[in-house]
Amino acid sequence: MADLVTLPPQRLGGVIDTVPFAERLALIPDIFGRLDAAIGLAGVFFVGPQTALYRIDGDRMEVRVGVPLDQPLPEFEMFDAPGSRALMQRHRGGFDGLPGVYQSLHAEAADRGLTRGAWAREVYRQVARDPALNVIDIYLDVF
């Protein structure tokens, strides 16, 4: 069972892009690569956790990938992660398990009589070479 949580608004800096929904799985890794490059160019030693926000608009998906920043840095586009109520489920394991988490969250939202909001987000608590060690919090905005 997912937890119903309240997410505070958050200021992030990173990369914003829009990709064809059908090609998202092939294109999203490049967006994360661009964020990693921006972190390197900014000379930042540590920043995190990385957060990805996803919003579907027809056959396109807006992708915002960022990290919490107190001030703008070169190469980073600043954006707000809006506050919301969300169903949250923690996923441990490979990225290939994420579709099942989203299916579960959508089903639970319907069972609870909740309506899906605009954003889905993933907060990467731990990403490892061994995918079994990954820890990702998945949030589905609801009202």
What does the alpha-carbon distance between residue 52 and residue 132 come to, in Å, rounded to a whole number? 20
Mean of the per-residue pLDDT values of the chain: 95
What does the alpha-carbon distance between residue 40 and residue 93 come to, in Å, rounded to a whole number? 27
* pLDDT in the model for residue 69: 87
Each residue's pLDDT tens digit, 82-102: 999 999 999 999 999 999 999
* pLDDT in the model for residue 12: 95
* pLDDT in the model for residue 90: 98
Count of domains observed in the chain: 1
* pLDDT in the model for residue 77: 94
**What's the whole-model pTM score?**
0.93
Query: What confidence category does residue 73 fall into, taking pLDDT thresholds of 50, 70 and 90?
Result: confident
What does the alpha-carbon distance between residue 43 and residue 36 come to, in Å, rounded to a whole number? 11
CATH code for the domain of 27: 3.20.80.10
Q: Which CA distances in Å does 12 have to 60, 83, 86, 96?
A: 22, 13, 18, 26
Each residue's pLDDT tens digit, 101-134: 999 999 999 999 999 999 999 999 999 999 999 9
Each residue's pLDDT tens digit, 15-68: 999 999 999 999 999 999 999 999 888 888 778 899 999 999 999 999 999 999
Structural domain for 119, as ranges:
3-142
* pLDDT in the model for residue 106: 97
